[in-house]
Structure 1
């Protein structure tokens, strides 16, 4: 509840960023194309356009990270405290559970709690993507987010039940919070902007792996071009500062040799 105001502020920032993402993406594509062509002037120009656009619309990426930064120390302290209590163990935790997990110091024998935790995390990522859709992230981040619930299941499967209960209840509370903030009247009262649906692309949409390969190839090509430009600049600098290369097989100032050559 204490973090709720931070979460609302983060939602405003994230949705604002999402609404401007199509324009940002177009500018980034122009910048990448300019770098691939080796047109540094155009790349600098588009870079300044992007910076100016983000300033005019108050788009600051670091502000969208306020909620995770605020949540991390709280989660870490609860996680460390509960784990320490189960490892001692605190005697009351051996019988303080319920249903099939009466002993909170041992892992869930049926893996129901880890599965519930992973499932609620998947819903959180899906509902959270209403403000910042997964399609707006680069392919590497999309793979990371989609694989996270599966990794969490295997990661938490052997946790003491106390940790699984805490994590499952925390996710459940977050889902309730998400649902509450999806109510139009609540969003209006809290001044959370509506997300603008981006226009549907007219061209052929690339598949996930095709898009990932395209981004990797572009990144590699830009690196190669930048390395070539760096070597060319270094050669030009050495040519200007080094000794004058010899272009005659004799000294043209020596009139005797000039007459002999003639």
Structure 2
């Protein structure tokens, strides 16, 4: 065996040496464990590293609170999960986002009513700055900076006087978007069995049998694409209603409108890759947003919410909207 060519004899040499000394291979002196290779140490370090941002979000307190709200709603109503998701969405949108949307329209209406006064102030201030620039020999740059500084101050005083700073109109976004994210992540936790409540596994089983019609399993994707396409269509309707309302949009508003259109279309393939429970919630939420948008156009509802009347208000908003929609999309002219 020692004469065999190649490296085969090298593997038997340690055994022969041990036998020559009267020792067995298994009786060799104990040795310290070999250090881990670099790649193995790196793998262990990666496994011991903290979880990513999504795992942290999925285990966060707001998501756990959203899970408890959904579980409480389903337990209180006794509805199947598709009905519970629908009812919870309607309740949250009606109790939280609808009042905030009415407040947003209230602020925007007061800001719109200030525009004639702001234009008058701008005209008078421009004349005063021109007189001072001529008297004191200001350059165009100094005159413009003086005008802008005083104009910002005067407009801020108007906003304080009427308590209608435009930033207050963004409170809807700061509440609605996080709520949408937390509930979406909570439903995903339920659908994947990663819920951090004690009933996580049972909820996943209930969702698997809690669908309806063409989506009986809420933990699976909608292979028919009916729910994803519906989400995209409803979101596009919301965008187009906003675009029809704003006839004279600025370039920035046009860019924002095009961006939201693109995001609405992009939501279709995204919704086709997530569990149906999420897509059902997205569809219900978007439909409530569309209904909310139409409701806030009603003169009677605006009066009920004490939204100040503005010059752009219409006595027949729905008729005007349908006429504008027909002229933009259906008319052949």
TM-score with structure 2 setting the length: 0.49
In the TM superposition, 1:14-93 aligns within 5 A as 14-18=108-112, 39-57=141-159, 58=162, 59-88=164-193, 90-93=204-207
Q: CA deviation at 1:40?
A: 3.8
In the TM superposition, 1:148-167 aligns within 5 A as 148-167=263-282
Cα deviation 1:181-224 (Å, max 9, x = unaligned): 222111112122344349xxxxxxxxxxxxxxxxxxxxxxxxxx
Name the CA shift for 1:99/1:124 in 2 (closer, same or farther; >3 Å): same
| Corresponding residue number in structure 1 for 2:224 | 110
| Corresponding residue number in structure 2 for 1:6 | 100
Separation (CA, whole Å) in 2 of partners of 1:16 and 1:146:
28
Note if contact 2:223-2:272 (Cα within 8 Å) is conserved in structure 1. no
Name the CA shift for 1:197/1:137 in 2 (closer, same or farther; >3 Å): farther
By relative contact order (CA 8 Å, sep 6+), the higher-ranking structure is 1
Q: CA deviation at 1:44?
A: 3.4
Separation (CA, whole Å) in 2 of partners of 1:64 and 1:197:
18
Q: CA deviation at 1:12?
A: 1.2
List alignment gaps of at least 5 residues for structure 1: 31-36, 199-262
Structure (1 or 2) with the larger CA radius of gyration: 2
Aligned to 2:184, the other structure's residue is in SS state: helix
List alignment gaps of at least 5 residues for structure 2: 1-93, 127-138, 194-200, 314-333
Note if contact 1:101-1:108 (Cα within 8 Å) is conserved in structure 2. yes
- 2:233 is aligned with 1:119: yes
Q: CA RMSD in A?
A: 3.1
Q: CA deviation at 1:101?
A: 1.0
| Corresponding residue number in structure 2 for 1:94 | 208
Note if contact 1:10-1:67 (Cα within 8 Å) is conserved in structure 2. yes
Name the CA shift for 1:83/1:7 in 2 (closer, same or farther; >3 Å): same
Q: CA deviation at 1:128?
A: 4.3
TM-score with structure 1 setting the length: 0.61
Q: CA deviation at 1:149?
A: 0.9
